[in-house]
Amino acid sequence: MQPRRLSILGVGLLGGSIGLASKSVSSDCRVVGYGHRAESLKQAMEVGAIDEMATDPTVAAKGADLVILCTPVGAFSDILRQISPVLHPGAIITDVGSTKRSVVEAAAKQLPASVHFVGSHPMAGSEKRGVEFARADLFKGALCILTPTAKTNPSTTKQLKEFWQQLGMRLTEMSPEDHDRLVADISHLPHAVAAALVAMQSDPALKLAGRGFLDATRIASGDGGLWRDILLDNRDNIRAGVERLQQTLASLLEQLDRKDAEGLRQWLDAAAAKRENWARQKLQELNPE
């Protein structure tokens, strides 16, 4: 699909990058951005991420053939309720949120039958915030998860797939439930842990920290408002993840108490090998050349 009028609700790093990337693949695509801060919208206009700006989501969504929600996930339900009456029949609505159950449920409840919703999670971004860090190539090689349900029109899923593919993404599909459970493990839990590792440090300890700690905690520099919404929304899966992490650490402490040098070495080597195998494949995907 090639949207003629693309509405981006929330023009930060992700929304701005979608605007830049869409305009770079099609000169025909007119992008209208919504944000509650006129200043950010002006900046988005200046960097060429959007063509029109609106501080009212209904103005930005009206007449669009593709609407993408790019605000923090906590605002999705309210925005869907607001834009619902003005949506063009046949319009496709999606989002870029890091959780999927709640937005899929809200869309089913709030959107008219005349429009089509599928949840998207483009797994790109960084700990940076704001449209000033937006890049047309942010999505290149990264994975986008679509979460269609039994009620989703397959043609909508197909069109959205094409849209993200044009932006350079690899696509996969799963249920909103599987998404939230799996992404809790590899993204939301690591974020909570990184923040906890920073929060627990004393000043004398932090003075000694080096490059390892810098990398291990980079994600903890992410936007607090964005992550608050994600952690609250996915708290059941995050709780389950914390419990599994604690069990894993408890096993490690038992090994240390037993001075089980051989078992410990095997466990550490296995973790290192598992990460290296995965990282090699991941880096190939992200940097295909």
Instruction: Tell me the C-alpha distance between 46 and 23, whole Å.
Output: 14
Distances from the Cα of 104 to the Cα of 39, 77, 93, 146, angstroms: 31, 10, 11, 11
What's the closest the beta carbon of residue 178 comes to a second copy, in angstroms?
8
Q: By CB under 8 A, name the one of 150, 211, 287, 288 that touches a second copy.
A: 211
Among 257, 287, 288, 289, binds a second copy (CB under 8 A): 257
Among 1, 25, 143, 171, binds a second copy (CB under 8 A): 143
Please select the residue that binds a second copy; options are 150, 208, 288, 289, rule is CB under 8 A: 208
CA 203 to centroid of chain Cα atoms? 32
User: For residues 154-193, which are near a second copy according to CB under 8 A?
Assistant: 172, 178, 182-183, 185-187, 189-193
Cβ neighbours around 90 below 10 Å, total: 10
Smallest separation (angstroms) from a second copy to the CB of 49: 21
Tokens of 53: 């700006």
The yes or no reply on residue 224 touching a second copy (CB under 8 A) is yes
State phi, psi for 233 to the nearest 5 degrees: -70, -35
Q: Which of the residues 35 through 54 are near a second copy (CB under 8 A)?
A: none
* 124 counts as binding a second copy under rule CB under 8 A: yes
223: left (phi over 0), alpha (psi -120 to 50) or beta: beta
Binds a second copy (CB under 8 A): choice among 46, 128, 205, 284: 205
Please give the structure tokens belonging to residue 136.
């047309």
In the complex, minimum distance from the CB of residue 227 to a second copy, in angstroms, rounded to a whole number: 5
Give the strand order in the sheet containing 170-173: 119-122, 143-147, 170-173
User: Which stretch, 46-54, 63-71, 82-90, 141-149, contacts a second copy (CB under 8 A)?
Assistant: 141-149
